[in-house]
Amino acid sequence: MLLMIGILSFSRSRFGCRAVLAPAVVFFFCCFVFPVETVAEDAITSGDLQISKTLNNLLGEEDAARYRDVISPKKSITWHVYIPKNASTEPPGVMVYVSPERSGQIDYRWREVMDQQNLVYISANNSGNRKTVKLRVVLAVMGLKALGPRLTLAADRVYISGFSGGGRVASYVASQFPKLFTGAIYICGADFWKQEYSPKVDLMLPNRFVFVTGSKDFNRDETRAVFRRYLEAGAANSKLMVIPGMAHEKPGKQDLNEALDYLGASSPSVSG
């Protein structure tokens, strides 16, 4: 599958990234086929692990060379992965997480949620707010390529998520890869798509979206505003969660479970 997207140029603030009007075009030559029918010799068992690959490993030298302005095709990329306990008996879904920090380590509270939801967690290391958005988008999407040979994944449960500046990047990824990611959770940070960056809105609108913020989050009002714009644009399967007492932070297991339950639901529902 040939995916061509316009990558935004972003300005940085102390709290993350915000889009500005200076687009650059990057071509993505990625083949994503779900479910994966084969399991490689380094098949994964449950628990935490690291995957380390180069773009040459994942794509081959010819296609990897198309990314050389973003990252060296020979540079090692690592992803933190958590495999749920029942992944070996039933194909799991996957939540790609964009961290605002250097580490992609899973929040210790979320392991139980991944087990309950039968979701693989994957997040690139060295992909925080200090990195370019081009790189963060590439590393998030390539995480699925890194998982592909190892697991049979449920194609209807492929989610993108992120916190703060990572949530803003996740909201961009969701608008550019709506056939790849069927749902998204934006935690304390999200941007509405901009028409000049050619979002795939018609394909995006049937997907499901959860906006998570806290009553004490400084991004609460902005998160509410982006949620309302999603509804006005026709993204009917959208939910707003304002968690009492929560500041600018990641939600605990109960609230994350609620958000994931919404993404996995089958009927349209607007909440918030």
Residue 271 falls inside a structural domain: no
Write down the pLDDT at residue 43. 56
Task: Give CA torsion, residues 127, 128, 132, 133, to 10 deg.
Answer: 80
Residue 203 falls inside a structural domain: yes
Instruction: State the pLDDT confidence band at 194, using cuts at 50, 70 and 90.
Output: confident
Residue 270 falls inside a structural domain: no
Q: Could you give the number of structural domains in the chain?
A: 1
6-31 mean pLDDT: 37
Q: How do residues 237-252 score in pLDDT, each as one tens digit?
A: 999 999 999 999 999 9
Q: Which domain holds residue 37?
A: 2-264
Question: Kind of pairing, strands 119-124 and 93-98?
Answer: parallel
Query: CB-side exposure of 214: number of CA atoms within 13 Å?
Result: 16
Residue 243 falls inside a structural domain: yes
E strands present in the chain: 2-13, 16-29, 47-53, 77-83, 93-98, 119-124, 158-163, 183-187, 208-214, 238-243
Residue 172 falls inside a structural domain: yes
Residue 42 falls inside a structural domain: yes
- Is residue 149's pLDDT more than 90? no
Looking up residue 191, the CATH number of its domain turns out to be 3.40.50.1820
Q: How do residues 257-267 score in pLDDT, each as one tens digit?
A: 999 999 998 64
- Is residue 1's pLDDT more than 80? no
Residue 63 falls inside a structural domain: yes
Query: Which stretch, 21-30, 192-201, 221-230, has highest mean pLDDT?
Result: 221-230
Rounded to whole angstroms, what are the CA distances from 7 to 21, 80, 126, 137, 163?
11, 24, 19, 8, 20
Task: Give CA torsion, residues 29, 33, 37, 40, to 10 deg.
Answer: 30
Instruction: State the pLDDT confidence band at 142, using cuts at 50, 70 and 90.
Output: very high
Q: How do residues 200-237 score in pLDDT, each as one tens digit?
A: 999 999 999 999 999 999 999 999 999 999 999 999 99
E strands present in 30-101: 47-53, 77-83, 93-98
Residue 269 falls inside a structural domain: no
Least Cα distance to 121 among 35, 191, 48 occurs for 48
Query: CB-side exposure of 269: number of CA atoms within 13 Å?
Result: 13
The DSSP code for 66 is G
Write down the pLDDT at residue 210. 98
Q: How do residues 163-179 score in pLDDT, each as one tens digit?
A: 999 999 999 999 999 99
- Is residue 26's pLDDT more than 90? no
140-144 mean pLDDT: 96
- Is residue 3's pLDDT more than 70? no
Backbone phi and psi for residue 84, each to the nearest 5 degrees, phi listed first:
-70, 160
Q: How do residues 28-50 score in pLDDT, each as one tens digit?
A: 434 443 333 323 335 567 899 99
Residue 62, H or E segment: helix 61-64
Query: Interior CA angle at 56 toward 52 and 60, to 5°?
Result: 130
- DSSP lists the bridge partners of residue 238 as 209
Write down the pLDDT at residue 212. 98
Write down the pLDDT at residue 31. 42
